[in-house]
Amino acid sequence: MLCQFTFSNYRSYRDEATLSMQASSIKELSHSLLACGDNQSFLPVAAIYGPNAGGKSNLLDALGYVQSAVSRPIYALMSDREAPEGSMARLSRCSPFAFDAVHADMPSDFEVYYRVEEYEYRYALSVSASKIVSEGLWRRKLGASRAAMLFEREEERVELGPSLRRTGVSVNFNSTIPYLSFLYMNSDLEVVHQAASWFLDCVFLNYNSFYLERVLEEMLREEDSQEISRFLKAVDVHVDGFRVEVDDERHQHRVYVKHVVGGAEYELRFSEESAGTQKLMGLASVLLSALENGGAVIVDELDAKLHPKLLRYVILLFKNPEVNKGGAQLIFTSQDVSTMRNDVFRRDEIWFAARDEGEASQLWSLSDLHEPNGNLVSKNAAFDKQYLSGRYGADPYLTRIEEWE
């Protein structure tokens, strides 16, 4: 479960920005919150709104950067156990804020707080270009006041905390990858595998047709065909089954979608379905897995190619404790304000991203905004109408055509 993500000096974000998934003290829609054993509650959903080029996607990209930094070397080794260590997936180049000379030469900083079972972890990563400047991992048992250091790293030098030091794990490693990834690949320590599990379970969904087909095919291999078909019919997409064709020689898998029309059965290749249907099929496979098993699902432009009623339906799945049995979280960007309503979202689930006069993105929550009289925005406010009227900021500035010249 994601608790908080903080980062700075990444793409359009110059200053520190924090996306908090911890529920504030406001009372609305409290039944939808994810409760933990230490009486803390967390949000099942976070929706980020704002103008084009305001920083919405860069926020998700920042979270995706630190997630892939840890997970990519692990997945690379899992896919090719015979590959030499030097051929592992290296760290992608990190892009700092480019619009001033100072920050362009400074590292980008990332910090993630997350919970796995009875522990809360803090993972920090600092990257300059493609080089890891520093890294650290800490763990706190829920209910305890202090966190224990598992390891701290400065470039190639690693200091182990007491619990890891006793295990005798190596501090000689490939410095082009995170030390957390190295530990996962070279030890069977429960604490390490638990700490890395959030990064491995986190899903970043994109709408590339090939990617969606691959995601769907993986779910179908796990014999979840009926569940996916049932979900699609619930959202008025009539599908009567699937067939996966395996070509072992070419290492290819093709998904065919079955349709029964007039008593006769027909098949279409996945790529022949409409873009919206492809998206729903891929989305269905990811959502069903997350709702059952937990984890975070991160989607840029969740509303793209989705009817507003379907968008609302997907959001409310995560906010229904009877459906969201795994304690999954949905974090997404959107331009569709039809769901920005007080019967869908709590105020702390609505976020805005926009650039300031210095071209640096800023991030803020609706729950932090005040009315002109000094009071917080009311839980009964028409969020969509007030946002479109410009009362929350993060709206595009549009010039009149006659002012273009």
Handedness of CA 221, 259, 279, 388 (dihedral sign): negative
Q: What is the pLDDT of residues 71-124, one digit of tens each?
A: 999 998 876 544 434 445 678 899 999 999 899 999 999 999 999 999 999 999
pLDDT at 89: 63
Of 171, 129, 168, the closest CA to residue 154 belongs to 171
Sheet strands side by side (includes 264-269): 242-247, 252-261, 264-269
pLDDT at 86: 42
CB 23 within 8 A of CB 4: no
Q: What is the pLDDT of residues 43-79, one digit of tens each?
A: 999 999 999 999 999 999 999 999 999 999 999 887 6
CB 37 within 8 A of CB 142: yes
| Whole-angstrom distance, CA of residue 155 vs CA of residue 137 | 15
Q: How many residues does the chain have?
A: 405
Q: What is the mean pLDDT of the segment spanning 325-349?
A: 96
CB 183 within 8 A of CB 135: no
What is the architecture, at CATH level 2, of domain 1-202+295-405?
3-Layer(aba) Sandwich (3.40)
| Whole-angstrom distance, CA of residue 105 vs CA of residue 96 | 8
The answer on pLDDT for 333 being more than 80 is yes
| Whole-angstrom distance, CA of residue 215 vs CA of residue 204 | 11
Map tokens 């990064």 to a residue.
Answer: 199
| Whole-angstrom distance, CA of residue 180 vs CA of residue 21 | 24
Q: What is the DSSP letter of 359?
A: S
Buried b (16+ CB within 10 A) or exposed e, 55-72: bbbbbbbbbbbbbbbbbb
Q: What is the mean pLDDT of the segment spanning 218-244?
A: 77
Beta bridge partners of 330: 45, 297
> What crossing angle do the helices spanning 209-221 and 225-234 adopt, rounded to 10°?
130
Q: Which two tokens stand for residue 248?
A: 């072992």
Cβ-in-10-Å burial (0-12, 13-18, 19+) of 163 comes to middle
Where along the chain do its domains lie? Answer: 1-202+295-405, 207-292
CB 353 within 8 A of CB 363: yes
Backbone dihedral region for residue 295 (phi beyond 0: left; psi -120 to 50: alpha; all else: beta)? left
Which amino acid type is present at position 289?
Answer: S
CB 149 within 8 A of CB 192: no
Q: What is the pLDDT of residues 113-167, one digit of tens each?
A: 999 999 999 999 999 999 999 999 999 999 999 999 999 999 999 999 999 999 9
| Whole-angstrom distance, CA of residue 204 vs CA of residue 2 | 14
pLDDT at 83: 41
Per-residue pLDDT band at 171 (split at 50, 70, 90): very high
Of 297, 299, 72, the closest CA to residue 208 belongs to 299
Kindly report the backbone phi and psi dihedral angles of residue 80, in degrees, each rounded to the nearest multiple of 5, phi listed first. Answer: -145, 85
Q: What is the pLDDT of residues 364-395, one digit of tens each?
A: 999 999 998 999 999 999 999 999 999 999 88
| Whole-angstrom distance, CA of residue 312 vs CA of residue 306 | 10
